Amino acid sequence: MIELRNVSKSYRTQHSTTHVLRNANCTVMPGEKVAILGRNGAGKSTMVRILSGAERPNSGEIIRNMSVSWPLAFGGAFQTSLTGIDNMRFICRIYDVDPAGKIDYVDDFSELGKYLREPVRTYSSGMRARLAFAISMVIDFDCFLIDEVISVGDARFHEKCHEELFVKRGDRAMVIVSHDATYVRDHCSKIGVLNEGELTMFDDFDAGYAYYHEVYA
Amino acid sequence: MQATSLYDAWKIQRRVIWALFLREILTRYGRHNIGLLWLFGEPMLFTVGVTLMWIAFGATHGSDLPITAFAVSGYSTVLIWRNMSSRCVAAIHPNSALLYHRNVKVLSIFISRMMVEAGGATLSMVLLTILFSYMEWMSPPENVLMVALGWSMLIWFSAALAIFLGSLSEFSELVERLWHPIAYFLLPVSGAGYLVDALPPEAQRIILILPLAHGTEMVREGFFGSKVVSHYDIGYMAEINLVLTFVALLLTSYVSRRVIPE
């Protein structure tokens, strides 16, 4: 289970303090699919960072009894002067996974071919996203964190990601943070709406969906 | 996982720091040409360059010690504190994306970078000492344990200083701007270029306020013990190190709460 208890986060800007999250509460049970909806600037990215543990709240508590992934398909931590394989090895080492058995999988899934042994700096953004997604699948997590709609590569590759994530790992918990309500509707049973720092959780998707349209009308 | 024991946390951090260490080495030295050898090749070149320069100018630094031994024992110590600090100043922001991997902490980033520098400088000093001793440009250290002790004290001080400056540089980029000139001014007061004993008593007193010279003098004592009078107080240096370590760790934990990954 992951539980956020009265989590607040504010940032000091040049002239004032911005409260991005105020007393946010939410729980994610094993296997549960939770959507967090909000417009740009509603605090979605902060939510992702807090859930992933990349950032700590100003107050409140986070209880994690499940392993939580980094934001899926996130390639920001790539060292671009290193090859795709070296970046994969680095992440495997951090999560205590033997990289030797995973190279074939990443090679096969990312379809990068010989580029896997080239520096990531030579990749297109689509190639980076494919590598990042493939590496994300190498580490086993109880809960996957998904920041925005996964739109990696072409339709066929998109289909592959879908299969890998929602079918093969369908029993895992997922938190999908997005501004696209129709996308999360297909995947989530529980929904939270972020509006001006307030997080409102709904166990009933349709109620949450209606609320989302109400506040962002 | 919330409920990790201290031992588990230590095991995780050991793994994370090792991964960051390898990443850092690969990034900086790559797999091309001599690759990993640059780890100590770079500081070795520095020390050899300074040695040759001092020999060329006949810089005796107020002692009749062999210049080569003087340069190797002295200049190597500069590499430790200067490089370890420089690697940590302004290191958080460009690496902040790594924090999305939850077990990567600000402190793990600092430690891995310091390991690269301390490891390189140490290997360089040891190899040069062996090489020059073999070539009979200098005699081997009289007391290896003393060298190791002084060296360790210097690494401890440098680590505390580097973590302190690295954390401080998150507050203001002034730290990065000021660190380079400060490092430059620290050079003459670090005791690397002369024996403290060669200074007038008043100057000795001032130099020995800074802990750096104590470490350098200890290393010198280890190298030339019977030929020089060394001035150091290991207790004093340990006290300063302890206080600086404490302040540095407090500051890091404060910065860790503030840092916003990209």
Give the mutation candidate from A46, A52, A55, A64 for the B interface (greatest B CB count, under 10 A): A55
- Taking the Cβ of residue B99 and every Cβ of chain A, the question of whether any pair is shorter than 8 Å is answered with yes
B27 with A81: Cβ contact below 8 A: yes
Q: Does B262 touch chain A if contact means CB atoms closer than 8 Å?
A: yes
| Cβ-based contacts under 8 A for chains A and B | 62
Overall number of domains in chain A: 2
Sheet holding A2-12, edge to edge: A17-28, A2-12, A59-64
Chain B residues whose CB is inside 8 A of the A142 CB are: none
Q: Does A97 contact B at CB distance below 8 Å?
A: no
Non-local (6+) Cβ contacts of B136 within 8 A are: none
Residues of B with CB below 8 A from A118's CB?
A: none
Report which DSSP code applies to A164.
Answer: I
Residue B104 has its nearest CB partner, among A65, A76, A94, at A94
Does residue A196 or residue B1 have the better pLDDT?
Answer: A196
Q: Is A162 inside any structural domain?
A: no
Answer yes or no: do A7 and A59 share one domain: yes
> Does residue A11 belong to the interface with chain B, where contact is any CB pair within 8 Å?
yes
Q: Along the 262 residues of chain B, how does pLDDT read in single tens digits?
A: 445 688 989 999 999 999 999 999 999 888 777 777 888 888 888 888 888 888 887 766 666 777 888 888 888 899 999 999 999 999 999 899 999 998 999 999 999 999 999 999 999 999 999 999 998 888 899 999 999 999 999 999 999 999 999 999 999 889 999 999 999 888 888 888 888 888 899 999 999 999 999 999 999 999 998 888 999 999 999 999 999 999 999 999 999 988 888 7
Residue from the list A49, A64, A96 with its beta carbon closest to the beta carbon of B2? A64
In this structure, what token pair is assigned to residue B119? 């490891």
Indicate the pTM of the whole model. 0.91
Report pLDDT for B1.
Answer: 45
pLDDT of residue A125: 84
> Which among A14, A48, A80, A94 is the top mutation candidate for probing chain B, defined by the most B β-carbons within 10 Å of its own β-carbon?
A94
Report yes or no on A83 lying in a domain: yes
Q: Would you say A29 and A172 are in contact if contact means Cβ atoms under 8 Å apart?
A: no
Instruction: Tell me whether residues A53 and B16 touch, CB distance under 8 A.
Output: no
Residue A187: give the domain boundaries.
2-69+172-215
H or E, element range at A20 = strand A17-28
| Per-residue pLDDT, B2 | 47
Interface contact A71, partner B, CB < 8 A: yes
pLDDT at res. A189: 86
Q: What pLDDT sits at residue B4?
A: 65
Strands A173-178 and A143-147: parallel
Mean pLDDT of A88-106: 93
Q: Any idea what the CATH number is for the domain that residue A183 is in?
A: 3.40.50.300
Sorted by where each begins, the domain ranges of chain B are 10-258
Under an 8 A CB cutoff, do B26 and A86 touch?
yes
A108 and A62 fall within a common domain = no
Same domain, A133 and A185: no
Which chain B residues are within 8 Å of A95, Cβ to Cβ? 101
B103 touches chain A (CB under 8 A): yes
Contact B209, B70 (CB under 8 A): no
Q: Residue B113 is encoded by which pair of tokens?
A: 């970078």
Residues A98 and A133 in one domain: yes
The mean per-residue pLDDT over the stretch A18-22 comes to: 89
pLDDT of residue A202: 92
Decide: helix, strand or coil at residue A106: helix
- Determine phi and psi for B8, rounding to 5 degrees: -65, -45
Contact present, B252 and B89 (Cβ < 8 Å): no
Q: Does B102 sit within 8 Å of A68, measured CB to CB? A: yes
Is position A59 within any domain?
yes
CB A207 within 8 A of CB A33: no
Closest-approach residue (CA) in chain B for A1: B1
Q: Does B14 touch chain A (CB under 8 A)?
A: no
pLDDT recorded at residue B15:
96
Determine the pLDDT at residue B17. 97
Contact A79 B23 (CB under 8 A): yes
Which residues in chain B are contacts of A76 at CB distance < 8 A?
Answer: 97, 100, 262
